[in-house]
Amino acid sequence: MAARKSSTQVLKKVNPSGKKDHDFFTQVYEIVRLVPKGRVTSYGAIANALGTKLSARMVGWAMNSGHSVKPKIPAHRVLNREGRLTGKLHFGSPTRMQELLEKEGVKIKDDQVVDLQKYFWDPVKELSF
């Protein structure tokens, strides 16, 4: 990835209370945990549900930070728009993610979910955002 323009401004928006009640990451965790077993979703869908569909990267990034989060985050249910297991390399073992999905009933072929539309779980639709 080439370097993008960076302006890491401190636009940390916080509530008047002083504490952040809703982090972007936190919302991601919530939705990911809400994904039913045997279903999958995409980074873009989650990001879109949060109103920041252009920030799908942050969703994946949230997972990375989510490794230290208390409840385990079923990140294996989060795939990219194509239904591909893009983040499988982050599961410790390159096959762990696929195995988990297959164990839940999701068919995977060549690192890609079969009948993605069938297993796809759209938070915006299900949660009526």
Interface residues with DNA (CB under 7 A) are 1-4, 6, 8-12, 24-25, 42-44, 52-61, 63-67, 75, 78, 80-82, 86-87, 89-91
Please state, in angstroms and rounded to a whole number, the distance separating the CA atoms of residues 119 and 121. 6
* CA quadruple 45, 46, 50, 54: dihedral sign: negative
Least gap, CB of 52 to DNA (angstroms)? 6
Nearer to DNA, 33 or 87 (CB): 87
User: Which of residues 67 and 107 has its CB atom nearest to DNA in the complex?
Assistant: 67
Least separation in angstroms between residue 71's CB and DNA is: 14
For strand 112-113 and strand 108-109, is the pairing parallel, antiparallel, or unpaired? antiparallel
Q: How far is CA 7 from CA 22, 62, 122, in A?
A: 23, 20, 32
Q: In the bound complex, what is the minimum distance in angstroms from residue 9's beta carbon to DNA?
A: 7
Looking at beta carbons only, is 1 or 17 nearer to DNA? 1
Closest among 15, 32, 13 to 72, alpha carbons compared: 32
In this complex, which beta carbon is closest to DNA, that of residue 86 or of residue 128?
A: 86
